[in-house]
Structure 1
């Protein structure tokens, strides 16, 4: 019998499958491949779409290393975790509610990595993926261990443009529970700051907008 693949969404439902009613979570440290950039994520062949291509190119290079005889120590089979994103605007507060100009976005696009991925494994993947996909600049990616910490989160169902109503409900919950939002004022991408955080559980290319599911997570502190 084939060994079951680890699906992080199913194994850690508290991180990936919250309810539509907001809740508080203390997010542990995890390893991510990340690409930072700026601009409208909907721009065809734009910076964001290229970043996503880099992320998946590296993620699947690591996952499929078992077929090349280069699998890392401690390797186990798994489902590639979902795409995630940190979002902010330079020069103004950003909590995801007021979006006047998507071209002004700054972002970090990222995919969680299994526990066996180390900086050395990541460096091997960059070399391997660069050889197989020379049209993508794999040097833009970096491997980071990130401890997000105390947050409030909620599941948003529906189109991305309908997120503000869900975020307003999340903000109300944060205040009612005696917390305050804890967004960073730092405009630099790294070191990683506390941002508006989204986890994408569906593929917008294949799902109807009304069926999309997005985890929305905001950093908080005791008020």
Structure 2
């Protein structure tokens, strides 16, 4: 049976359009860190590298013996953890050139660190790209979070974050940091801005 994250993990990837509290476990990811404007060519290249690695994993059975535990699945969506540089924090308004990010794509549980290294080296040979030297594989665990589905342009996200902050105040929750996670359910290259769907999530703790 093919594993479909849209169907089997709705709580994590298809939340309601109002803030909710959720505990997110650890998942394995291919990751790339960088800084600068997400509309830049450099960012697009980094996204491309993550998809190259992800599809290399998915296509393993067609290239030879499948790894132990392999099963059919849908590629997971692109995610990004976002912050601002120290200089960016001092500026009034958001300067996208001062953004700091780690973008990532979740991998199935059968992907081991050894297999991930093997795939990175394989992609270096078949699709050489300097950014592959910066690609990493590891586990991320968000833990207790507030999240919601944001519909519309990325530039309109502050309104959704405001709702999430209000929810925290009402529920006795405290946002831990200004970093946040975005999960991109839409392909921004093929989707009109008003139709974009993005999961917004930030870490919280319960007030003492």
Same fold, TM-score > 0.5, yes or no: yes
Q: Which secondary structure state, in structure 2, belongs to the residue aligned with residue 100 of structure 1?
A: coil
1:31 alignment partner in structure 2: 28
Normalized per residue, the structure richer in helix is 2
Alpha-carbon distance, 1:7 to partner: 1.3
Q: Distance in 2 between matches of 1:120 and 1:39?
A: 31
Residue 205 of structure 1: CA displacement? 1.0
Asked if the contact 2:88/2:95 (under 8 Å) is kept, the reply is no
Matched length: 205
C-alpha deviation, 1:99, in angstroms: 4.7
Q: Which residue of 1 aligns with 2:53?
A: 58
* CA shift for structure 1 position 210: 1.1
CA deviation after TM superposition for structure 1 residue 100, in Å: 2.0
Which residue of structure 1 lines up, in the alignment, with residue 2 of structure 2? Answer: 5
Kept in 2, the 8 Å contact 1:85–1:108? The answer is yes
- Quick one: distance in 2 between partners of 1:64 and 1:58? 10
Query: Counterparts in 2 of 1:116-135, with a 5 A limit?
Result: 116-135=110-129
Q: Distance in 2 between matches of 1:135 and 1:215?
A: 29
Q: Which residue of 2 aligns with 1:103?
A: 97
TM-score, normalised with respect to structure 2: 0.94
Identify the residue that residue 42 of structure 1 maps to in structure 2: 39
| 1:160-210: CA deviation from partner (whole Å, max 9, x where unpaired) | 1111111101110011100010017xxxxxxxxxx3110000001111111
Structure 1 position 218, deviation (Å): 0.8
Contact 1:9–1:81 at 8 Å: present in 2 too? Answer: no
Question: In structure 2, what is the equivalent of residue 139 of structure 1?
Answer: 133
For the 8 Å contact 2:52–2:123, the answer to whether it is kept is: yes
The one-character-per-residue Cα deviations of 1:121-171 (angstroms, maximum 9, x if unpaired) are 101111111111113531211111111100000000011111111110111
Three-state SS of the structure 2 residue aligned to 1:137 is: helix
- Given that 2:88 and 2:94 are in contact with CA atoms closer than 8 Å, whether structure 1 keeps it comes out as no
Q: Does 1:209 align with 2:196?
A: no
Structure 2: gaps (5+ residues): none
Query: 1:92, CA displacement in angstroms?
Result: 6.9
How many angstroms does 1:87 deviate by? Answer: 0.3
Q: How far apart, CA to CA, are the structure 2 residues paired with 1:172 and 1:163? A: 14
> CA contact under 8 A between 1:86 and 1:107: conserved in structure 2?
yes
Structure 1 distance, partners of 2:62, 2:201, is 36
Matched position secondary structure for 2:108: coil
Q: What is the TM-score normalised by the length of structure 1?
A: 0.88
Is the Cα–Cα contact under 8 Å of residues 120 and 132 in structure 2 kept in the other structure? yes
| CA distance in structure 2 between the aligned counterparts of 1:163 and 1:86, rounded to whole angstroms | 14
